[in-house]
Chain A
Amino acid sequence: MQTITNILPELFLSFSIIFLLMIGVFVKKSFKLVNLLTILCLIFVSILVINQNNQSIKIFNESYIIDHLSIIMKVLTLVFSSLILISSKEYLKINNINKIEYPIIILSAVLGMMIMISSYDLIVFYLGLELQSLSLYILAAFKRDNEKSTEAGLKYFVLSALATGILLYGCSLIYGFTGSTNFEIISENLDDKNIGAIFGIVFIYVGLAFKISAVPFHMWTPDVYEGSPTSVTSFFAIVTKIAALAIFIRFTYVPFLHVIDQWQNIVIFLSIASMILGAVAAIGQNNIKRLMAYSSIGHMGYILAGLAAGTNEGIQSTIIYLIIYLTMNLCAFGCIFMMKRENIYYENIKDLSGLSQNHPMLSLSFLIVLFSLAGIPPLAGFFAKFYIFMAVIESEMYALAIIGLITSVISAFYYLRIIKIIYFDKPKKPFEETYDFGLKMTLILSTISILIYFVNPSILIEIASLIKIN
């Protein structure tokens, strides 16, 4: 019975998926209802998760864990997916993708992520990963009469399947050389001389790097971000990162903790490469979704820099960075959802030209979020980078810190470029005012929280300090 109560959120989510599917099939034109129920379900499940026991509990033969890390990451997943659903309602309607499958597939992706986040065993982890990935393939290709969306879906499917294959091979190597799929037992049996298992670690990192789109496994990101419907892109940019990072953190700090010398260089390399590519490659982009793709690659680089530190401060700064990154991206995509004129959504940066003349408030949001993404104080993005570099410098990795800060200057250039287009250029035809209350609320809330985060920055520190390496 104890076991059941501990996985109540997951159970509730699975049953509601089936239930919503039934409603969708049997009730005609039920998208609105299903969408609303999905949002309510996500919020309800997040309440269930928050109310879970705060002690670290392992269930199902120690293959499933509920601790601070999993609770925080699950709440983030649930809250941000519901916010994305709330803010993308109008987009779905106008682009004629308001099918009942859409929210339900999102729910199943979220279920997969929750399983991934809580997994304490290679097999459970893989099951969650597959459920999540399969849902995401469909989501990427959801606008099926659109060439680019179909291409994005296929591209993501092929590349992701390859990465998953490599990851699975890594899992089997580790199982073969340590004799168990349980994280704790793996951790006990791993040491620096276990060459086979270390190969396995490398393969697993390759698979995970693909999931969080770290360089050099980022190739899919710009295309998929550009091709998918914007609502799905925001899902990719925001929610999928949470689960992938949670399991990245879990792998790094539970099974592989004692072989830190083996993986630290890999993570540092991933981090530096992502930071540099994210900063340089985004300069030439004209599609704002592609630009956000490169921007998210760059931000993953900073997050990995925090993880590479291999300390408590490192892991906590990663969590703080992640939360701020999610809020900034939510705000940025909220702005992108506003770029609409006569039922067509515009994606080119040039379309923003002179936005400040016609839409002063929207431009102000853009301004705040772009400066925050560039990491300029006193906005939230600065604090995120500050904590990361605190951790990095504590571990005396000065080169990493300096490279990170210099790339942040380079990346400031392309954020400034958008601001330049919005504020300095000649105005074009105005966009339509949106009357979608949900979108406006999300945008306003996220902008304000970025802007006034500096008033009380210790909130996130308190949350993050719950997570410690054993």
Chain B
Amino acid sequence: MNFPILSAIIFIPLIGAIFILITKGPEKNVEKNSKYVAIFCSLVNLLLSLVLWFSFDASITDFQFVEKKNWIGFINFQLGIDGISILFILLTTFITPICVFSAIQSIKFKIKDFLIAILVMQTLMLGVFCSLDLVLFYLFFEGGLIPMFLIIGIWGGPNRVYSAFKFFLFTLLGSVLMLVAIISIYWITGTTDVIKLLEFKIPQDYQYLLWLAFFSSFAVKMPMWPVHTWLPDAHVEAPTAGSVILAAILLKMAGYGFLRFSLGIFPVASDYFTPLIFSLSIIAIIYTSLIALMQDDMKKLIAYSSVAHMGFVTIGIFSVTKQGLDGSIIQMISHGLISAALFLCVGVVYDRFQSRMISSYGGLVNIMPKYAFVFMIFTLGALGLPGTSGFVGEFLVLAGIFQKNILVAVLASFGVILAAAYMLWLYRKVIFGRTINSKLKNTTDLNNTEIGIFASLAFLILFIGFYPDPLFTTIDVSINNLIDKYHSNLSFYLTINSN
């Protein structure tokens, strides 16, 4: 097992991007080549990550496939995965080829640069989930801003500049505080190695401030109320593939960060701040669901529903129960798939009619029956119908939080009802009803590429919905380990305090 498979997974897209960058020749050939290179790199990466999953031993608590190289003095270039991160790696490598295919369909100019941006983005996202060093994590976490800024700004909609700036500055402001915290952790503990930090018991007084600094970064990225306002703007203006990456993967970095760092390194502070997280999440779930009900822009509606769904994730994580954590991870994966699919659905009609307004559609079921069918699957997934992955996640989160706090559980369940309301409302307006807009009549249904994309997404959503067991077996040991450590740490600090 000496082959550095994690490095390979991380750097293959980057190599592909460099290759696309340096190819020269007639424009047509270059474009064609870059499409092939991007498809090839992303598919190879998908295969490699599947190989990684099969050779992953789910019965070990330690990090696996660990690679360690000297990098800058005390900071090591250290990679490794456990049961939690491997699912996110799979999600990333699965979503990226979909983005590449969708970009090839819908991006009309500078396709070469777009593919470079997506591949660089993939490298950085995979780096986030693999890195086992805080500085390295920060590097990948922040580096993602550059390609995303360009994706929104160059290929986005009419108001793209404002959205790109808002996205960049919000996220950067959140993250710089995390940098202060990372450096402080180094001076307190003498290391930034995550494996060592998970064993280290940081003094209680420091934990609160450090936790808040990390929280400021993750809350913006997650996004939690009230710092979620960048998300609807960014989603609305970003091109389809950009929205897909944002919703499916970028938001999950924050959830991953909460799991790995907030729970793992600062247990006391996490326990102390749980009410804060719960109240913000409840506000997010109910408030943004209500906002979603009022939207007349399809992408904005889905964006607000993302905020609501991420509220379930934070509740699940900070319930620190087995069901809650399982649920939040499944919810993240399922939201990654469903929101990606929904954005692609909007992209399909946007490519054909250049409008995202709900009011300009209606009666699509008569014109595009296949589209109506896939859209239905994803709508039902988003509202958490049993049999889709959305149900598994939300149900487990609610089951987990019931053991902790019944009030929160009751309030959160309102979110499920509201989700059904706005999703069904969207579906009814767009798909059913009379065809008012005469432009809609002369159009084609889904083409083969689109069918392929949607079929693979729908398959996974239903598969996880009916048989989530493979995911549970992968994360089981890591989650148990996380919870055990969390509780033993808490009791450790309790005994210190009582002495």
Contacts and interface: CB of A to CB of B under 8 A. Distances in A.
A328 to B, nearest CB: 16
A341 B348 CA distance: 43
Given A376-B146, A423-B153, A424-B161, A412 B172 contact: yes
Contacts of A458: 70-73
Contacts of A23: none
Nearest to B186: A390
A378 interface: yes
B177 A405 contact: yes
A412 B174 CA distance: 13
A406 interface: yes
B176 A420 contact: no
A393 B139 contact: no
Contact of A393 (B153, B164, B165, B187): B187
Contacts of B186: 390
B73 A405 contact: no
A249 B142 CA distance: 32
Contacts of B72: 383, 457-458, 461
Contacts of A423: 150, 153-154
Contacts of B169: 409, 412-413, 416
A334 to B, nearest CB: 20
Interface stretch (A200-208, A223-231, A394-402, A427-435): A394-402
A420 B177 contact: no
A80 interface: no
Interface centre among B71, B169, B173, B183, by most chain A C-beta atoms within 10 angstroms, is B183
B183 A378 contact: no
B138 interface: yes
Given A409-B173, A412-B168, A386 B71 contact: no
A201 B71 CA distance: 40
A371 interface: yes
Contacts of A402: 177, 180
A401 B139 contact: no
Interface in B217-261: none
A420 B172 contact: no
Contacts of A393: 180, 183-184, 187
A376 B142 contact: yes
Nearest to B176: A405
A394 B143 CA distance: 25
B179 interface: yes
Contacts of B161: 420, 424
B138 A377 contact: yes
A419 B150 CA distance: 9
A408 interface: yes
Contacts of B180: 389, 393, 398, 401-402, 405
A225 B313 CA distance: 52
A164 B153 CA distance: 47
A367 B179 CA distance: 23
B145 interface: yes
Nearest to A458: B72
A382 interface: yes
B154 A416 contact: no
Contacts of B172: 376, 409, 412
A464 to B, nearest CB: 11
Interface residues of B, number: 33
Interface string B129-153: 0000001001110110110011001
Given A376-B142, A390-B183, A390-B186, A413 B165 contact: yes
Contacts of A409: 169, 172-173, 176
B160 interface: yes
B160 A377 contact: no
Given A393-B187, A409-B173, A416 B149 contact: yes
A437 interface: no
A377 B169 CA distance: 14
B321 to A, nearest CB: 35
B145 A389 contact: no
A454 B145 CA distance: 17
Interface string A327-368: 000000000000000000000000000001000100000010
Nearest to A364: B21
B139 A394 contact: no
A386 B179 contact: yes
B154 A424 contact: yes
B164 A420 contact: yes
Contacts of A371: 146
A398 B206 CA distance: 13
A406 B173 contact: yes
A358 to B, nearest CB: 13
A406 B169 CA distance: 11
A406 B172 CA distance: 9
Contacts of B173: 406, 409
Contact of A424 (B113, B138, B140, B160): B160
A424 B113 CA distance: 13
A405 B142 CA distance: 14
Interface string B159-193: 01100110011001100110110011011000000
Nearest to A405: B176
A429 B150 CA distance: 22
Contacts of A360: 113
Contacts of B176: 405-406, 408-409
A401 B421 CA distance: 47
Contacts of A382: 139, 142
B153 to A, nearest CB: 5
A458 B72 CA distance: 5
Contacts of A408: 176
A214 to B, nearest CB: 22
Given A393-B183, A406-B176, A416 B168 contact: yes
Nearest to B124: A378
B146 A461 contact: no
A287 B183 CA distance: 36
Given A386-B179, A389-B179, A376 B143 contact: yes
Contacts of B164: 420, 424
Interface string A451-470: 00010011001000000000
Contacts of A356: 154
Interface string A298-333: 000000000000000000000000000000000000
Given A398-B180, A416-B168, A377 B154 contact: no
A35 B311 CA distance: 66
Contacts of B187: 393-394
Q: Which of B172, B173, B184 has the most CB of A within 10 A?
A: B172
Contacts of B177: 402, 405
A378 B128 CA distance: 13
Nearest to A385: B179
B360 to A, nearest CB: 26
Given A409-B172, A424-B161, A461 B73 contact: yes
Contacts of A377: 138-140, 142-143
B180 to A, nearest CB: 5
B10 to A, nearest CB: 12
Contacts of B145: 376
Interface in B335-384: none
B488 to A, nearest CB: 30
A431 to B, nearest CB: 19
A389 B185 CA distance: 13
Contacts of A412: 168-169, 172
Contacts of B135: 386
Contacts of A424: 153-154, 160-161, 164
Which 10 A-B residue pairs are closest in the complex by CB-CB distance?
A: A405-B176, A377-B139, A457-B72, A393-B183, A377-B142, A424-B153, A409-B173, A377-B143, A378-B143, A378-B139
Given A390-B186, A423-B153, A424-B154, 18 more contacts: A376-B145, A376-B172, A377-B138, A377-B142, A382-B142, A386-B135, A389-B183, A390-B183, A398-B180, A398-B184, A401-B183, A406-B173, A419-B149, A420-B153, A423-B154, A424-B160, A454-B139, A461-B73
7 contacts: A360-B113, A386-B183, A405-B179, A409-B173, A412-B168, A423-B153, A458-B72
